[in-house]
């Protein structure tokens, strides 16, 4: 891609590198919704996945390439024919907007221990990968993995070779977040000085946040000639994450006096995109997160408050509305009709089929009976629950808990599994623990809660509570979310969401591993939905 010195290309890899964050996986429909929002946000390139990794990734890339218009659609491949062929097939619907992104490690540590290849072999494989990708696609990007720990002279040699082979974009990754800004900026400057023709194409950077320097390193690269930044929404990604799109974009915009470049991002869509990704991945945004955190525009100190009242610029370098942070306005009520509800969903960016709309509308009416005020985030949470493609093997029907500072916490839970109704009770350290143990008893699968977080989606005593959990089933950790005005119900919904996701990932036809279920106070009942209340029998249990 030809370099524009006045513009920075935003390459979003939320759907690929961002999804590699433990517990942050999304289904095809969820990825499609994120991709559509990324298009509204104005990103230049969407990296939709790693097609050869799984059938699900292949389908996600193909669906995004088919349905999302505007940005270029990229997919990742190693420098091997099978990967490149999978990319080409998945990206085919994107036509001229397709980009194949090939990569190969170049650092000494990767050459010695992972690839076990000499420098000459690395160059041959990189060239072969680019040349093969060019058979399928005109737009081919090459990334020398672990570039920041690669000998600069060898890195320049590799880049010269792949440019001669037809690479149209070069990406320089700080794969393990090892670099510091002065060092990384110098590396970019070195490459421009030692690789002829590099100044005629767009050089990207892909920085990880292991030392908390991903945004700083990306900005240093821009100051030294890079004109493409690879980033993710909320900075999610492998290990400590990636360069956060919202942070680097607002840094470039706020400090145009220094960087003198622009992006094509519609910054008023930033907050909405952040919320959507947070809800669909189950990765909560920390309150003090720059740009999109709950405290990003909050002022508590008296001196700050006084300054803000007199002149906002005294303590705010950007306005909340610049990034699309909305006011807490009432949007709809229980008397709102389907037409108004559909119209408001469209304003929020959701395009739903008639059946989906009806299901979410009924959930909205039920919520409106419980809450006095309904806000945008309440509605987004309802939509998120219905967007999941995970088959609902277990569905919560009923929950009753007994708890108190002098009572033994006990929960009775009723689940629906296809045509059966299951009910059981259990005791625990608290009402949530008791309820989850009851779910374990009925499913026969014991999960270990490894992370639990709760936040109010909106304000007020009747606020919708959003629970995010990560649950370990054997060797697999899955994440899930649940929302309700009742935090115990929200917790059970999130746990059941994880259970359903685990069963889906393990395969519908595969027998799920069973463990001894936690002890409880009641017996399990299984009742046919056709003979509910007349046919009750004990559930057989292992152990």
What CATH number is attached to the domain comprising 128?
A: 3.20.20.70
Q: How far apart are CA 435 and CA 431, in angstroms?
A: 6
Asked whether the predicted pLDDT for residue 361 surpasses 70, the reply is yes
Within this chain, do residues 373 and 415 fall inside the same structural domain, yes or no?
no
The residues facing 508 across adjacent strands are none
Q: What mean pLDDT is predicted for residues 214-218?
A: 98
The better pLDDT of the pair 64, 463 is held by: 64
Within this chain, do residues 209 and 126 fall inside the same structural domain, yes or no?
yes
Identify the residue whose tokens are 């160059």. 123
The tens digit of pLDDT for each residue in 431-475 reads 999 999 999 999 999 999 998 988 877 667 777 888 888 899 998
Within this chain, do residues 116 and 222 fall inside the same structural domain, yes or no?
yes
Asked whether the predicted pLDDT for residue 398 surpasses 70, the reply is yes
Return the CA Rg of the chain.
26
Within this chain, do residues 464 and 526 fall inside the same structural domain, yes or no?
yes
Mean of all residue pLDDT scores within the chain: 87
Q: Answer yes or no: is 406 within a domain.
A: yes
pLDDT on residue 211: 98
pLDDT on residue 444: 94
Within this chain, do residues 188 and 75 fall inside the same structural domain, yes or no?
yes
Categorize the per-residue pLDDT at 337 as very low, low, confident or very high, splitting at 50, 70 and 90.
confident
The tens digit of pLDDT for each residue in 492-506 reads 999 998 999 899 878
The tens digit of pLDDT for each residue in 497-540 reads 899 989 987 874 344 443 333 333 444 444 433 333 333 333 33
Domain membership of residue 117 as a residue range: 9-281
pLDDT on residue 368: 83
Asked whether the predicted pLDDT for residue 271 surpasses 50, the reply is yes
Within this chain, do residues 214 and 118 fall inside the same structural domain, yes or no?
yes
Which two three-digit tokens encode residue 267?
Answer: 């910054």
The backbone region for 121, taken as left when phi is positive above 0, alpha when psi lies in -120 to 50, beta otherwise, is: alpha
Residue 489: which residues within 8 A CB-CB, separation 6 or more? 396, 399, 482
Q: How far apart are CA 19 and CA 32, in angstroms?
A: 13
Asked whether the predicted pLDDT for residue 329 surpasses 60, the reply is no
Asked whether the predicted pLDDT for residue 326 surpasses 80, the reply is no
Q: What mean pLDDT is predicted for residues 268-286?
A: 89
- Among residues 263, 281, 299, the one where a domain terminates is 281
The better pLDDT of the pair 478, 435 is held by: 435
Q: What mean pLDDT is predicted for residues 182-204?
A: 98
Q: What mean pLDDT is predicted for residues 369-373?
A: 76
Q: What is the pTM of this model?
A: 0.79
pLDDT on residue 168: 98
Angle at the Cα of 467 from the Cα atoms of 461 and 471, rounded to 5 degrees:
160
Strand residue runs (E) in 340-428: 395-402, 410-417, 420-427
pLDDT on residue 331: 64
Q: Answer yes or no: is 321 within a domain.
A: no
The tens digit of pLDDT for each residue in 419-432 reads 899 999 999 999 99
Asked whether the predicted pLDDT for residue 355 surpasses 60, the reply is yes
Integer CA distances (angstroms), 222 to 9, 112, 147, 268, 448, in order: 11, 31, 16, 23, 44
Share of the chain above pLDDT 70, in %: 89
Residue 241: which residues within 8 A CB-CB, separation 6 or more? 21, 208, 209, 214, 232, 235
Q: Which of 254, 181, 282, 163 is nearest to 223 (CA)?
A: 181
Categorize the per-residue pLDDT at 308 as very low, low, confident or very high, splitting at 50, 70 and 90.
low
Within this chain, do residues 368 and 435 fall inside the same structural domain, yes or no?
no
Asked whether the predicted pLDDT for residue 477 surpasses 90, the reply is no
Q: How far apart are CA 164 and CA 166, in angstroms?
A: 5
- Among residues 387, 417, 449, the one where a domain terminates is 387
* C-beta separation of 384 from 457 below 8 A: no
- Among residues 354, 387, 420, the one where a domain terminates is 387
Asked whether the predicted pLDDT for residue 221 surpasses 60, the reply is yes
pLDDT on residue 457: 72
Share of the chain above pLDDT 90, in %: 63
Q: What are phi and psi of 235, to 5 degrees?
A: 70, 20
Q: How far apart are CA 208 and CA 35, in angstroms?
A: 22
pLDDT on residue 52: 97
pLDDT on residue 512: 40
- H helices of 99-178, in order, are 108-110, 119-134, 152-165
pLDDT on residue 327: 57
Within this chain, do residues 247 and 210 fall inside the same structural domain, yes or no?
yes
Asked whether the predicted pLDDT for residue 71 surpasses 90, the reply is yes
DSSP annotation of 406 reads T
Within this chain, do residues 140 and 64 fall inside the same structural domain, yes or no?
yes
Domain count of the fold of the chain: 3
pLDDT on residue 125: 98
Q: How far apart are CA 169 and CA 464, in angstroms?
A: 45
What CATH number is attached to the domain comprising 479?
A: 3.30.160.270
Q: Answer yes or no: is 322 within a domain.
A: no
Within this chain, do residues 354 and 229 fall inside the same structural domain, yes or no?
no
Within this chain, do residues 262 and 375 fall inside the same structural domain, yes or no?
no
When mean pLDDT is compared across 49-63, 77-91, 333-347, the lowest value belongs to: 333-347
Q: Answer yes or no: is 412 within a domain.
A: yes
Q: Answer yes or no: is 327 within a domain.
A: no
Within this chain, do residues 105 and 131 fall inside the same structural domain, yes or no?
yes
Which two three-digit tokens encode residue 291?
Answer: 């740009």
Q: Answer yes or no: is 314 within a domain.
A: no
Q: Answer yes or no: is 354 within a domain.
A: yes
The better pLDDT of the pair 356, 522 is held by: 356
pLDDT on residue 301: 54
Asked whether the predicted pLDDT for residue 332 surpasses 50, the reply is yes
Q: Answer yes or no: is 299 within a domain.
A: no
Would you call 105 helix, strand, or coil by DSSP?
strand
């Amino acid at each position: 891609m030809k370099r524009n010195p006045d513009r920075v290309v935003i390459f979003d890899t939320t759907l690929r590198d961002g999804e590699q964050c433990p517990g942050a996986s999304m289904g095809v429909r969820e990825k499609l919704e994120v991709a559509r929002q990324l298009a509204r946000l104005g990103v230049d390139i969407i990296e939709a996945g790693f097609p050869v990794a799984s059938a699900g990734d292949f389908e996600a890339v193909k669906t995004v390439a088919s349905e999302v218009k505007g940005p270029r659609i990229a997919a990742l491949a190693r420098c091997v024919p099978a990967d490149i062929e999978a990319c080409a097939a998945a990206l085919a619907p994107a036509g001229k907007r397709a980009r194949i992104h090939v990569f190969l490690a170049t650092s000494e540590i990767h050459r010695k221990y992972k690839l076990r290849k000499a420098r000459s072999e690395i160059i041959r494989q990189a060239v072969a990968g680019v040349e093969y990708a060019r058979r399928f696609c005109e737009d081919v990007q090459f990334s020398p993995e672990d570039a920041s720990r690669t000998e600069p002279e060898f890195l320049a040699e590799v880049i010269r070779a792949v440019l001669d082979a037809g690479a149209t974009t070069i990406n320089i990754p700080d794969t393990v977040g090892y670099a510091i800004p002065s060092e990384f900026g110098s590396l970019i400057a070195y490459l421009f000085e030692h690789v002829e023709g590099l100044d005629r194409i767009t050089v990207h950077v892909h920085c990880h946040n292991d030392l908390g320097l991903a945004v700083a390193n990306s900005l240093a690269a821009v100051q030294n000639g890079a004109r493409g930044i690879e980033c993710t929404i909320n900075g999610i990604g492998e290990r400590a994450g990636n360069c956060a799109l919202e942070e680097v974009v607002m840094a470039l915009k706020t400090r145009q006096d220094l960087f003198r470049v622009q992006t094509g991002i519609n910054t008023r869509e930033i907050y909405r995109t952040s919320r959507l990704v947070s809800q669909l991945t189950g990765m909560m945004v920390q309150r003090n997160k720059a740009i999109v955190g709950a405290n990003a525009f909050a002022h508590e100190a008296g001196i700050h408050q006084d300054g803000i009242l007199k002149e906002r610029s005294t303590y705010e370098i950007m306005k909340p509305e610049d990034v699309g942070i909305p006011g807490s306005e009432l949007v709809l009520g229980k008397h709102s009709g389907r037409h108004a509800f559909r119209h408001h969903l469209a304003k929020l960016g959701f395009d739903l089929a008639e059946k989906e709309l009806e299901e979410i509308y009924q959930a909205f009416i039920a919520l409106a009976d419980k809450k006095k005020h309904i806000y945008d985030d309440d509605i987004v949470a309802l939509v998120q629950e219905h967007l999941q493609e995970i088959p609902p093997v277990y569905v919560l029907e009923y929950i009753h808990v007994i708890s108190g500072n002098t009572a033994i916490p006990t929960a009775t839970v009723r689940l629906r599994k296809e045509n059966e109704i299951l009910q059981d009770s259990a005791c625990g350290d608290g009402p949530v623990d008791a309820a989850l143990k009851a779910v374990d008893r009925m499913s026969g699968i014991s999960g270990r809660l490894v992370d639990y977080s709760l936040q109010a989606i909106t304000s007020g005593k009747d606020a919708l509570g959003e629970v995010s959990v990560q649950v370990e089933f054997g060797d697999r950790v899955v994440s899930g979310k649940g929302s309700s005005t009742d935090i115990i119900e929200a917790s059970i919904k999130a746990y059941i969401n994880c259970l359903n996701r685990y069963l889906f990932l393990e395969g519908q036809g595969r027998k799920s591993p069973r463990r001894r279920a936690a002890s409880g106070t009641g017996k399990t009942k299984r009742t046919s939905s056709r003979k509910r209340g007349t046919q009750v029998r004990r559930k057989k249990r292992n152990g």
